[in-house]
Structure 1
C-alpha cells in the first residue's frame, strides 16, 4: 500500500507540473519552452510525441547488486538468510538480467527478466540441533505487462501498467552437522498479478529520472517492487542509467510440502537503455 501511495503522489505532482505549464502558456513561458528555444532541452523520446504510428523498441540490459534478507525453508525446515551486497557478489554463481519495451502510440508492452543463482553460507537455522545451514537459491522472474501512456509529451511520460509476474524458485538447504535428511531441496512455481506505473521525466539537458513501482499478489501473499533511476543520455539511441531497486516477496505453502520464501532484496542497479527504433 505504501508503494501505491508513493506512486500516486508522484503522479499527482507530475500532473500538477504539466498543468501549471499549460495554464501559464499565455503568460511567462514554461521552462521547457525556454529550453526548446535555446536548444538546451533534451527529449525523453522524440517519437513519444506527434502522430507517430510506428512500433518503437528499447532494450535495457542491467546488473543488480542486492542485499538479501528474510526467511527461506523447505519441508518445515527454515533458515534466516542475511546477505549484504558484497556477500551476494562473493556468493554469486551466475545470472542474466534485462528488460525490453515495445510501444506504439500510447500502448506499451514492457517485459522484465531476471535469473540468478547464489549461495548463502552459514544461514541461521530455526531448527534445534542444527548449527548452521548452507542455502543455495535459484531465482527466475519473468514479468510481461501491458500499459497505457496517460501523459505523453517530450518532457514527461507517465504509464499506467498491469503485469503478470512469473516466479520460479529453487532452494537447496544443507544442514550441519550432517545426518538424516541433512540435504533438502524443493522448488516452487507461481504467478502474481501486479499493477503500478512508470514515470519518466527530463529534469535537465541530457538528464532523466525514471521511477517504477508495482504491487500485487496471487500465488504469493504479497509481491511488490520499487525502482528509482537516474539517466544520462550519451546519444539519441543510448542512455546510461543507475539507481536503486527494492523487491519484496512473501510466498508460503502449507504442509506437508511446506515451502517458505519470505525475502526482500534491495540494492544498487546499473545498466543502459538502447533505442533500436
Structure 2
C-alpha cells in the first residue's frame, strides 16, 4: 500500500509540473473495438484448465464489452487513460478424463491504464514519448464442471483487484498530412508472480482537425496470483478506433 501511495504521489507531482507549462491543453477522446482472442490459464482445486479462444470465438461468447481512451496534452506532457471491460463465457473439453463432460469458464475483466508521458523528441518525421503510469485490474474467473461419469457438477471461482506500476514508451511517425503510424509498449508489475505488459501498433487517418480513425493490433498480458493460485491471461487481436480531438 505504501508503494502504491508513493507511486500516485509521483504521478500527482508530474501533473503539477505539466500544469505549469504555458501552452494550451488539447484533448482526444476515443472509442474503439478490440477483437482480441483470449488465452487464459485457470488453476482450480482439481487442476489447471487452459482455455484458448480465437477472436471469432470471443465475439461469439462475449456477454458484454466497453472500451474507451482519453488523452490530454499540454506542451511536452501527455496524460493517457485507457479502459477495458469485458465479460465472456466459453465451454471446452476438460482435462479430467470422463469425470466431467465440459468446463465452462467465465471471465470478467476490467482494466484501467493511466500514463504520464513526456515528449523527449519532436520533429516532422519522429515523435518519441516515455514515462510512467499504472494499470489497475479487477478480475473474476469462474469454472463450472458439468456432469460426466461422476454425475455431479463442480464449481469454483476466484477474483482479485490490484494495481501494477508501469514504464512506457511511444513512437509516433507522421507519414504525411493525414496518415500517422504509432507504436506503444509498456511493462510493469511488483514481482515474478505479478507482471503485466502491453504492445500495440496502429495506423491513423486524420479526416479533419477533429475527427480521426485508426486500426491496428494490440496484445496485453497479465500474470497474477489470485486466491493463492497462479493465473495468466493474454488478450491479443486487431482493433479499430474513432477519435475526436478538441
Structure 1 residues 152-231: aligned runs within 5 Å: 152-177=122-147, 182-218=154-190, 221-231=194-204
Asked whether the 8 Å contact 1:191–1:218 carries over to 2, the reply is no
Runs of 4+ in 1 over 6 A off after TM superposition: 178-181
The 3-state SS of whatever aligns with 2:56 is helix
TM-score (normalizing by structure 2): 0.83
Q: Relative to structure 1, is the Cα distance of residues 69 and 275 closer, same or farther in structure 2, using a 3 angstrom cutoff?
A: same
Structure-2 separation of matches of 1:260 and 1:70 = 11
Q: Relative to structure 1, is the Cα distance of residues 127 and 103 closer, same or farther in structure 2, using a 3 angstrom cutoff?
A: farther
Q: Relative to structure 1, is the Cα distance of residues 215 and 77 closer, same or farther in structure 2, using a 3 angstrom cutoff?
A: same
Match of 1:237 in 2: 210
The 3-state SS of whatever aligns with 2:35 is strand
Match of 1:95 in 2: 65
> Which protein has the larger Cα radius of gyration, Structure 1 or Structure 2?
1
How far off is 1:183 after superposition? 1.6
Question: Is 1:107 the counterpart of 2:80 in the alignment?
Answer: no
Aligned residues: 223
Which has the higher mean CA deviation after the structures are superposed, 68-77 or 160-169? 68-77
TM-score (normalizing by structure 1): 0.74
How far off is 1:194 after superposition? 1.4
Structure-2 separation of matches of 1:268 and 1:204 = 23
Structure-2 separation of matches of 1:266 and 1:273 = 21
More strand by share: 2
Structure-2 separation of matches of 1:123 and 1:68 = 16
Deviations 1:193-220 (A, max 9, x none): 1112111111133111010111111275
Structure-2 separation of matches of 1:145 and 1:128 = 48
Gap runs ≥5 in structure 2? 1-20
